[in-house]
Amino acid sequence: MFEDLEKINERPEPFQFYTASDLWSDEHTSKQMLSFHLNGAADVSSRNTEFINRSVEWIASVFNIGRVTKIADFGCGPGLYAMRLAKLLANVTGIDFSGRSIEYAKNVADRDQLNIRYVKQNYLEFETEDRFDLVLMIMCDFCALSPTQRKVILSKFHGILKPGGSVLLDVYSLSAFEQREEIATYEVNQLNGFWSPKKYYGFVNTFKYDEEKVVLDKYTIVETERTRTVYNWLQYFAPKNLEKEFIEAGFSIEDLYSDVAGTPYDRKSNEFAIIATRV
């Protein structure tokens, strides 16, 4: 038992383990995540409905979205952005490795006769001959990637964009990093049964890595039949660090905002968004 508790409380190296696919492909947790996506009043898996509507309106204005616009939505989830952009006549491709979310999105697209191609795949492995005007990665997905994975995804963005094409994504700021604290908690059926339909014991250990500006929420789920660990990594950025990664990947930086709805940049904001252009 002591050795088990030692393992639960063990601090890994930054981005040592990658378990994102476990969260989104598990039958029970993927159902929970989809319900969060579709809760228009909450900011959990997706932003709330009012924000998404404002965000799409702003994106449409800034990027002149219309019939000839080709958009790739990385981490599209159930298509909350994709369907709205398709209704503006854009040609949209959505990529996500949650089968449950993609199935929901496809059903909505078929019902509403929207011009959307959905791809069930880890976007780090996505390949296409298509070339796009705009790449989106919204809800701070970029923060969940390791430095190596971020290089891969930025190279992929560069390869699938037309010359002069743009990337819009958002990240967590250093202001948000300062608000995080290390903590260890334990609870029966943690998060109101989020992790399993059966009884379980849930442990969460939050670790901060001050030098790297990374936070890990490490979830250990103990059930009768199995014990599993889910690692939720988040990288926090200063604008200069994010800009450096984009410039090294062959992009020029156009603008910074506090969010993907065009709110003017404020260094105290917990998030910020970047528009970068393929050089």
Cα distances (Å, whole numbers) of residue 100 to 30, 49, 145, 202: 7, 20, 22, 24
Strand partners, 203: 186, 220
Distance CA 200, CA 34 (A): 21
Parts of the chain belonging to CATH 3.40.50.150: 28-172+237-278
Model confidence pLDDT, tens digit, residues 84-136: 999 999 999 999 999 999 999 999 999 999 999 999 999 999 999 999 999 99
- Report, as an integer, the average pLDDT of 52-69: 96
- Report, as an integer, the average pLDDT of 59-70: 96
Query: Please, what is the average pLDDT of the chain?
Result: 95
Parts of the chain belonging to CATH 2.20.25: 2-12+176-234
By the 8 A CB rule, do 70 and 90 touch? yes
Type of residue numbered 267: R
pLDDT at 38 over 80: no
- Report, as an integer, the average pLDDT of 39-49: 78
Tokens representing 249 are 């990947």
- At residue 25 the predicted structure's pLDDT band, cuts being 50, 70 and 90, is confident
pLDDT at residue number 24: 75
- At residue 39 the predicted structure's pLDDT band, cuts being 50, 70 and 90, is confident
- Report, as an integer, the average pLDDT of 266-273: 97
pLDDT at 26 over 90: no
pLDDT at 43 over 90: no
CATH of 28-172+237-278, one of 3.40.50.150, 3.30.428.10, 3.90.25.10, 1.10.510.10: 3.40.50.150
Burial of 197 (0-12, 13-18, 19+ CB in 10 A): exposed
pLDDT at residue number 57: 98
Coil, strand or helix: which one is 151?
Answer: helix
pLDDT at residue number 45: 67
Q: What Rg value do the Cα atoms of the chain yield, rounded?
A: 19
Distance CA 79, CA 99 (A): 12
Distance CA 139, CA 142 (A): 8
pLDDT at residue number 129: 97
Model confidence pLDDT, tens digit, residues 227-254: 999 999 999 999 999 999 999 999 999 9
What percentage of the chain has pLDDT greater than the value 90?
A: 87
- State the DSSP H helix or E strand holding residue 214, giving kind and residue range, or none if neither: strand 214-222
Distance CA 170, CA 260 (A): 7
Model confidence pLDDT, tens digit, residues 128-179: 999 999 999 999 999 999 999 999 999 999 999 999 999 999 999 999 999 9
pLDDT at residue number 36: 74
Question: What would the CATH number be for the domain defined by 2-12+176-234?
Answer: 2.20.25
